[in-house]
Copies of this chain bind each other. A is one copy, B any other.
Amino acid sequence: MAPVSLDTINPKVLKCEYAVRGEIVTLAQAVQEELKSKPGSRPFDEILYCNIGNPQSLGQQPITFFREVLALCDHPSILDKSETRGLFSADAIERARQILDQIPGRATGAYSHSQGIKGLRDAIAAGIEARDGFPADPNDIFLTDGASPAVHLMMQLLIRSEKDGILCPIPQYPLYSASIALHGGALVPYYLDEATGWGLEVSELKKQWADAKSKGITPRALVVINPGNPTGQVLAENNQKEIVDFCKKEGLVLLADEVYQENVYVPEKKFHSFKKVARSMGYGEKDISVVSFQSVSKGYYGECGKRGGYMEVTGFGPEIREQIYKLASVNLCSNISGQILASLVMSPPKVGDESYESYSAEKDGILSSLKRRAKQRLSNTASYTVCVVYAYYSLGISDAQLTLEDAFNKLDGVTCNKAEGAMYLFPCIRLPEKAIKAAEAAKTTPDNFYCRRLLNATGIVFVPGSGFGQVLGTWHFRCTILPQEDKIPAVVSRLTEFHKSFMEEFRE
């Protein structure tokens, strides 16, 4: 007798889905293996992973200063050697010393306080204060292995049963639906309005809140992802104020996913943390519960593999704080390199520091490249190379608007909002009835069917919209803007060719 079968495992695990690493990605890994063992077996020679916000996997380089400090903290015994001064910048050496001094016994190999090393939390709190102009308390900071475990922790704290609801945007980042499913709660969807650039309407929040209540569900918290994933929308400050008031009025914990706070690409929008917005409205600790999630994986740093992040927890009484601390303590602490990196991204080199210039150049290079990829015309940039010209001549594209967004909007039946921030586009695709029937026959959803075909034909990995949620009967996919600029023409060219033949195949 097998001790474990699908019939005998936790049904919440079965219910949980995580499309960002789901079927299409598993298929892509298999195709990649196939390419390795049988080169030339496919009409393409590499897999282009546009499924996940993983910048360094697509060629983005880490920020040198951050890596210098991490290396020195990993191996402090070289700090005093003369060769070290030849290899590392002086301020990285100085910063590593400062950080080591904040660690009891200078022991980067020891478990830390379960909230993270106090001195690093001090640096993070100071960074939040500088960003927001309102005080931040290091005792409110919980350092975590990326933002995901922090989200799980809050879901675990809040969800008692399927009668507890979490208001979540649709489309959403599937960490939320997965975590709510695993903890046995109810996802209460609120729909972002695609027609207004994925606008978040408070009237929609109220409607869905009332609808949940009428079904006997108690909404406990509201998830807002700002800048949005997968939508790329950046909330306007006034909109945020309405959201804060809604949470305050209905006694909802505001779970603010702010991991893309450095990724805003349009001049008319600016990132405002929800805590800052609440404080600017005069609401303090006793008025509203806000949890802000931040990660070292996004921004210009893109250090996904380091698994660093934190949550800032405000507006909870001491007895609840104690429970949050207990949950954090069961896993002892987050990894110390990730903790150090979280403190560095919140307190990077300053004007006058030896590394400041190179740091700024690296940061600006990454952010302006992301901005170009999200929005600007390639024709306006230095990247308008022979390769690009070739691609667009060969496709017969009549102008030089070769961003991904533009490319999507040029496809038959596809419309795509612009990415104001974050790292994704989430185009809508109207599929022919014949394709929808073919998907049905293949026992899958039409968006999945399209993405699977795309992968097999081109090696490009998109995530079907079903994984994020979408209005019934509409179909989308998520695509990161992360491929390096010199790869984008190839993505555009392969995608355009595929799409044309797909639409022809299924034309009514």
Instruction: State the A residues within 8 Å of B (CB).
Output: 1-6, 8-11, 13-14, 16-18, 20-22, 29, 52, 54-59, 62, 64, 67-68, 70-72, 74-75, 77-78, 81, 83-84, 86-87, 104-105, 107-114, 145-146, 148-149, 152, 156-160, 175, 178-179, 182-183, 220-221, 251-253, 289, 297, 302-307, 316-317, 319-320, 323, 326-327, 329-338
Contact of A145 among B109, B145, B302 (CB under 8 A): B145
CB-defined A-B contacts under 8 Å, sample of 29: A1-B251, A3-B221, A3-B253, A6-B320, A10-B160, A10-B183, A13-B326, A18-B326, A18-B330, A22-B329, A56-B107, A57-B104, A58-B105, A59-B105, A67-B75, A68-B75, A74-B337, A83-B84, A109-B306, A110-B304, A111-B297, A111-B305, A146-B332, A148-B331, A175-B330, A178-B330, A305-B333, A305-B335, A306-B335
- Provide the bound-state CA to CA distance between A368 and B407, in Å: 65
Contact of A14 among B114, B323, B337 (CB under 8 A): B323
Contact of A107 among B112, B221, B305 (CB under 8 A): B305
Chain B residues positioned under 8 Å from A158 (CB to CB): 4, 9-10
Question: How far apart are A375's CB and chain B's nearest CB, in angstroms?
Answer: 24
Contact of A156 among B10, B78, B146 (CB under 8 A): B10
- Provide the bound-state CA to CA distance between A182 and B160, in Å: 11
Chain B residues positioned under 8 Å from A183 (CB to CB): 10
Question: How far apart are A85's CB and chain B's nearest CB, in angstroms?
Answer: 9
Question: How far apart are A329's CB and chain B's nearest CB, in angstroms?
Answer: 4
- Provide the bound-state CA to CA distance between A17 and B55, in Å: 39
Q: Are B109 and A56 in contact (CB under 8 A)?
A: yes
Q: Are A330 and B16 in contact (CB under 8 A)?
A: yes
Q: Which B-chain residue is minimally distant from A252 (CB atoms)?
A: B3
- Provide the bound-state CA to CA distance between A377 and B321, in Å: 45
Q: Are A335 and B332 in contact (CB under 8 A)?
A: no
- Provide the bound-state CA to CA distance between A348 and B140, in Å: 40
Question: How far apart are A265's CB and chain B's nearest CB, in angstroms?
Answer: 22
- Provide the bound-state CA to CA distance between A230 and B160, in Å: 32
Q: Are A253 and B4 in contact (CB under 8 A)?
A: yes
Q: Are A13 and B327 in contact (CB under 8 A)?
A: yes
Chain B residues positioned under 8 Å from A11 (CB to CB): 160
Q: Are A109 and B157 in contact (CB under 8 A)?
A: no
- Provide the bound-state CA to CA distance between A104 and B304, in Å: 14
Q: Are A336 and B220 in contact (CB under 8 A)?
A: no
Contact of A334 among B160, B303, B307 (CB under 8 A): B307
- Provide the bound-state CA to CA distance between A404 and B81, in Å: 39
Q: Are A105 and B323 in contact (CB under 8 A)?
A: no
Q: Which B-chain residue is minimally distant from A153 (CB atoms)?
A: B13
With A13-B156, A145-B145 as contacts: A332 and B74 at CB distance below 8 Å: no
Contact of A316 among B4, B72, B104, B337 (CB under 8 A): B4
- Provide the bound-state CA to CA distance between A338 and B335, in Å: 8
Contact of A220 among B3, B22, B112, B182 (CB under 8 A): B3
- Provide the bound-state CA to CA distance between A113 and B78, in Å: 32
Q: Which B-chain residue is minimally distant from A174 (CB atoms)?
A: B330
Question: How far apart are A67's CB and chain B's nearest CB, in angstroms?
Answer: 4
Q: Are B110 and A305 in contact (CB under 8 A)?
A: yes
Question: How far apart are A142's CB and chain B's nearest CB, in angstroms?
Answer: 14
Question: How far apart are A389's CB and chain B's nearest CB, in angstroms?
Answer: 27
- Provide the bound-state CA to CA distance between A316 and B81, in Å: 51
Q: Which B-chain residue is minimally distant from A63 (CB atoms)?
A: B109
Chain B residues positioned under 8 Å from A306 (CB to CB): 109, 335-337
Chain B residues positioned under 8 Å from A67 (CB to CB): 74-75, 77
With A251-B1, A253-B3, A306-B335 as contacts: A78 and B87 at CB distance below 8 Å: yes
Chain B residues positioned under 8 Å from A77 (CB to CB): 64, 67
Chain B residues positioned under 8 Å from A331 (CB to CB): 145-146, 148-149, 152
With A71-B71, A74-B70, A289-B4 as contacts: A329 and B109 at CB distance below 8 Å: no
Chain B residues positioned under 8 Å from A252 (CB to CB): 3
Q: Are B3 and A251 in contact (CB under 8 A)?
A: yes
Q: Are A332 and B21 in contact (CB under 8 A)?
A: yes
Q: Are B320 and A5 in contact (CB under 8 A)?
A: yes
Question: How far apart are A251's CB and chain B's nearest CB, in angstroms?
Answer: 4
Contact of A304 among B55, B111, B304 (CB under 8 A): B111
Q: Which B-chain residue is minimally distant from A32 (CB atoms)?
A: B104
Chain B residues positioned under 8 Å from A320 (CB to CB): 4-6, 9
Q: Are B179 and A330 in contact (CB under 8 A)?
A: yes
Question: How far apart are A23's CB and chain B's nearest CB, in angstroms?
Answer: 10
- Provide the bound-state CA to CA distance between A81 and B87, in Å: 8
Chain B residues positioned under 8 Å from A9 (CB to CB): 157-158, 160, 320, 323
Chain B residues positioned under 8 Å from A59 (CB to CB): 105
Q: Are A71 and B62 in contact (CB under 8 A)?
A: no
